[in-house]
Amino acid sequence: MCVALVRVSCFALGLTCLTIGAFAQVNMKLTGVGQGNVMAGVYTSPYTGTVDGTPTTIICDDFADDSFMNESWSANVSTVANLGATKWGSNQQQYDAAAALSIQLLGTSNATQMGYISYAIWDIFDNAGVQSWLGSSNPIYTTAYNMAQAALSQTYAAGSFSNVLIYTAIPGTATGCPNGPCPVNSPQEFLVVKTAEPSAQALFAVYLSSLVGLIFIFRKRVAAR
């Protein structure tokens, strides 16, 4: 029971275990473990992958299943704002909390903080699994559990996380696992935080500001002459 994260068993073997209705169906591949951060024998989010060939930062919300380096699979896509056939059902509060923590995770470069947040996201959906792995007296578990409970206790406005996508693997589509066929429940479910595209007005303002700056510099140069 390794996870998009590599538990000690997988880590020791040198395997990179990491570890949506649906609006679309995509092809995914796990290509890396991000910065390679490990906490309690598990690679922590974010990881790197491709979605229909496009390099993408992915965050695992699934401590129950396994994913492997260079594993490819088909996935259904949902948004947190409009849950579809996700792995953990349609509990809006859980996915809202996981989305909030995912955004927080991507906002830090501290490896330890990334680890705590990763475990907090896993704890939201699989407290028993996380507690069993870490032990209830482990400070990592205590910190992650408190983070998860704090996120779950918040009130989120409807549609707050329309920019967060959920990629849920379609059973039986995974290929590329080491040592034979991929496990039935592989790979894990992943979250992706999409960066909002700048509006046309915002882009125009940037271009205008740049143009004004160039004119100002040109005038200064002329005056200097």
Phi-psi region of 141 (alpha: psi -120 to 50; beta: other; left: phi over 0): alpha
- Closest to 56 (Cα-Cα) out of 45, 43, 42: 45
Contact of 116 with 141, CB cutoff 8 Å:
no
Q: Give pLDDT, residue 196.
A: 59
For the segment 123-149, what is each residue's pLDDT rounded down to a tens digit?
999 999 999 999 999 999 999 999 999
Q: Give pLDDT, residue 24.
A: 86
For the chain of 225 residues, list the mean pLDDT of each consecutive stretch of 10.
36 36 82 96 98 98 96 96 91 97 97 98 98 98 98 95 96 94 94 68 40 39 42
Q: Give pLDDT, residue 171.
A: 93
pTM: 0.80
